[in-house]
């Protein structure tokens, strides 16, 4: 007897197989190594004390509102 959880796990496994086929681990590792290092968020927010620092997020869609703008 198949449960909802079994169906979810099956779907995740299929998705994982597709992702692995499209993006081999070696390529993902290569991209990760060639990516610029992460910024120091605390340092960026502190700044020099003379300028305004802003944290923002641009959302194209929302689960509850759908597409927010074009």
In this prediction the pTM is 0.43
Q: Label residue 26 by pLDDT band (50, 70, 90).
A: very high
Residue 55's pLDDT is: 84
Give the model confidence (pLDDT) of 32-58 as tens digits.
999 999 888 888 888 788 888 888 888
Residue 69's pLDDT is: 76
DSSP state string for 7-68: HHHHHHHHHHHHHHHHS-HHHHHHHHHHSPPPP-HHHHHHTTSSS--------SEETTTEE-
Residue 24's pLDDT is: 95
- pLDDT for 19 beyond 90: yes
Spell out the domain ranges in the chain.
4-57
């Amino acid at each position: 007897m198949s449960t909802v959880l079994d169906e979810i796990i099956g779907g995740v496994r299929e998705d994982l197989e597709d992702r692995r086929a499209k993006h081999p681990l070696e390529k993902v590792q290569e991209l990760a190594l060639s990516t610029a290092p992460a910024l120091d968020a605390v340092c960026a927010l502190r700044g020099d004390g003379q300028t305004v620092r802003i944290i923002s997020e641009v959302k194209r869609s929302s689960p509850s509102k759908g597409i927010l703008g074009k």
